[in-house]
Amino acid sequence: MNPDLAALLKLQERDQAIMAIEAERKALEPELEALDAELARAEAELEAARQAAKEADQRRAELEGKIESYRIMQERRRQRLEWVRGAKEASTLMAELDLARSVLAKEEAEWIRSADRVQEAERRVQELEQVLEQVRQAQAPLRETLAAKQDELAERLAAARKEREQAARNVPKDLLAQYERIRRGRAPMALYPLHEGACGNCFTAVPIHRRHAIQDGQSITHCEACGVMLYHVAA
């Protein structure tokens, strides 16, 4: 075999090894993304519950303020009632006091409900805090395993890249440039074997005279259709 071709095939083998490790790495992504999504969901639910608790607390505080001002107004009416002399004015004031009393009672009932809602919302926050903690704990061993796999793959990738560099050094510069150019193109690889008289990548038939040149193993030819390098494997 042409030694340049042998060097090119060795290089391609190293590139395929790198691609295989990269594919393994990519295969880990969906699992990691699923873990991240699960965690994000639990965090978002907790955040929404915290927001709801804050709003419930604000609502309760608003009602407290309102009730306090009603009480002050009511107290003033009572004081006025003590000084009022006219019967008509007194009865008007009495009616106002009655009305205000029922309004106040309604607001107080609403305040009790709002206080219940605050408690409920705070319970929900605590529940979701626990859920988030459980998700974190459940994920921890999976994340550790994934991280270990990623570290291992990163190490293997670094080693494979070093081997690739060494293999590239054995390929003449012009051929290496051609090889790199083809790899940047659409074909998944740069070298393909001749397959029943056709290009092993795009299956375009190779003219007979060029086929002979490939088959004697002495020259490296490009496919006229897709541009990959063609070689022949002796049976």
Q: Which residue has the tokens 């409900």?
A: 113
Contacting residue, 202, 213, 221, 222, with Zn ion by CB under 5 A = 202
Look at strands 198-199 and 221-222 and give their pairing: unpaired
Confirm or reject binding of residue 199 to Zn ion (CB under 5 A): yes
Position 198 contacts Zn ion (CB under 5 A)? no
229 near Zn ion, judged by CB under 5 A? no
Handedness of CA 101, 106, 107, 112 (dihedral sign): positive
Binding of Zn ion at residue 214 (CB under 5 A)? no
CA 74-75-81 angle, to 5 degrees, is 90
21-24: long-range pairs with CB below 8 Å, 24+: 21/153, 21/156, 21/157, 21/160, 22/157, 24/153
Closest approach, Cβ 198 to Zn ion, in A, equals 8
Distance CA 11, CA 182 (A): 13
Spell out, one character per residue from 149 to 188, where the chain touches Zn ion: x when CB under 5 A holds, - when not: ----------------------------------------
**Nearest to residue 195, comparing CAs of 184, 186, 203, 187?**
203
Which one of residues 190, 223, 229, 232 is an interface residue with Zn ion (CB under 5 A)? 223
> Would you count residue 226 as binding Zn ion (CB under 5 A)?
yes
Is residue 201 near Zn ion by the rule CB under 5 A?
yes
By the rule CB under 5 A, 189 interacts with Zn ion:
no
Give contact residues for Zn ion (rule: CB under 5 A): 199, 201-202, 223, 225-226
